[in-house]
Amino acid sequence: MACGRSFVGGLRIKSEDVLIEYLSGKQTYDQLAEKYNCSNKTIQRKIDQSSAQQNRAFPSRVNVLMDSTYFGKSFGVMVFKDSITGVILLKKYVKQETNLLYLEGMQEIAKRGIKVQSIICDGRRGLFSLFTNVPMQYCEFHQVKTIRTYLTKKPEMQASKELWELALLLRKADKESFVGSLDEWHPKWEWFLSERKIDEAGKKRYVHKKLRSAYRSLKTNLPWLFTWYDNLELNIPNTTNAIDGHFSDLKNKLSNHNGLSIDRKKKLIDEFFKA
């Protein structure tokens, strides 16, 4: 008998219940088919028939966390989330992450009459110049990650050790302390940063390129690293962890259901975000 007309424990099976079990309960087609005493195709049909509930109750003022994640080379989801209420404001399926898509997403949010107090992002090149009228916070976790890429977690040179230790304090320090420490570090090691050698072609090259890049990254991004501190009344988070955690959880859930078509992945993602 088809699942739509089946009864388990006296209860009729609902498509929405099957979808929730499939996603949240990490149940496979085989496990659900066995539980409901029906075929895999019937379970698949139930999931296809289900529809995620729409969350249309949006807050009036928001701090927007925005980021994207991918499930393969050309299928991803771009998400805009309010850090205060945790409400997903908007999601877009994307083939490629672009600044224009972020701009369009923010414009769509603004059209709903929502006041955007701030934006928290991972600092894509050119993104800050698009939103000059909104306080923007660069994710401090991503900044530390960038410094780690240049210096590693265990740098050997003393100058690198000191800059890495300073970077690790970023998420704990106030603005004055961090900026003061960075301003002390640079003149102390300026001679070291300026060190050059002549290469085989006879051209002068900087010896400590990665250290220079690490310092330049901190100095360049400094205007957006302490937006949360300059606007304490807005309660702006200093990282995008609240949305990165969503992505991690989503990928863990989808990993239990390999081999899904794009349409079925979208259905599960819709249910996950309820947006």
Same domain flag for 19 and 38: yes
**Mean pLDDT of all residues in 52-66:** 80
Q: How many domains does the chain have?
A: 3
* pLDDT tens column, 156-183: 999 999 999 999 999 899 999 999 999 9
Question: Looking at the structure, do residues 121 and 243 belong to the same domain, yes or no?
Answer: yes
pLDDT digits (tens, 9 = 90+) for 171-224: 899 999 999 999 999 999 999 999 999 988 888 999 999 999 999 999 999 999
Query: Taking the CA of residue 49 as centre, how many other CA atoms within 13 Å lie in the half-sphere pointing to its CB?
Result: 14
User: What's the CA gap between 101 and 92, in Å, rounded?
Assistant: 9
Q: Name residues whose C-beta falls within 8 Å of residue 238's C-beta, 6 or more positions apart in sequence.
A: 120, 137, 139, 140, 171, 225, 228
Position 33 pLDDT exceeds 50: yes
122 lies in the same domain as 194: no
Across the chain, what does the average pLDDT equal? 87
Exposure of 242 by Cβ count < 10 A (0-12 exposed, 13-18 middle, 19+ buried)? middle
Q: Which residue range forms the structural domain that includes residue 32?
A: 3-49
Model pLDDT, residue 27: 66
Asked if the model's pLDDT at residue 55 lies above 70, the reply is no
Same domain, 10 and 23: yes
Q: Cα(78)–Cα(57) distance, rounded to whole angstroms?
A: 20
Axis-axis angle for helices 15-24, 262-273 (nearest 10): 90
In tens, the pLDDT along 73-132 reads 889 999 999 999 999 999 999 999 999 999 999 999 999 999 999 999 998 889 999 999
* pLDDT, mean of residues 143-161: 97
Q: Which residues of 105-124 are buried (b: 16+ CB within 10 A; e: fewer)?
A: bbeebeeeebebbbbbbbbe
Whether the predicted pLDDT of 31 surpasses 60: yes
Q: Which amino acid is at 219?
A: K
With a pLDDT cut of 90, the percent of the chain lying above it is 62
State the greatest distance between any 2 C-alpha atoms of the chain, in Å, as a whole number.
85
* Whether 36 and 166 share a structural domain: no
Whether residues 205 and 243 fall in one domain:
no
| Neighbour-count burial of 225, counting CB atoms closer than 10 A to its CB (0-12 exposed, 13-18 middle, 19+ buried) | buried
Does a structural domain hold residue 201?
yes
Same domain, 247 and 218: no
Residue 56 lies in a domain: no
For the chain, the 3-state helix, strand and coil shares in percent, each to the nearest 5, are: 50, 15, 35
Q: Is residue 206 part of a domain?
A: yes
Residue 5 pLDDT level (bands cut at 50, 70, 90)? very low
pLDDT score, position 253: 78
Cβ count within 10 A of residue 168: 14
Domain CATH for 113: 3.30.420.10
Mean pLDDT for 136-145 is 97
The answer to whether the CB of 180 falls within 8 A of the CB of 187 is: no
Inside any domain, residue 54: no
**Beta carbons within 10 angstroms of residue 92's beta carbon:** 15
What's the CATH code of the domain at 25? 1.10.10
Question: Looking at the domain assignment, is residue 118 inside a domain?
Answer: yes
Q: pLDDT tier at 4 (50, 70, 90 boundaries)?
A: very low
My answer on whether 101 and 125 are in the same domain is: yes
Q: Does 70 share its domain with 37?
A: no
Q: Is residue 55, in this structure, part of any structural domain at all?
A: no
Question: In terms of domains, do 117 and 244 share one?
Answer: yes
Report yes or no: 106 and 128 within 8 Å, Cβ to Cβ. Answer: no
Q: Would the pLDDT of 275 be above 50?
A: no
Same domain, 152 and 176: yes
Q: Are 101 and 94 in contact (CB under 8 A)?
A: yes
Residues 130 and 146 both lie in one domain: no
User: 57-71, 85-99, 246-260 — which is least confidently predicted?
Assistant: 246-260
Which of 11, 26, 49 is the endpoint of a domain?
Answer: 49
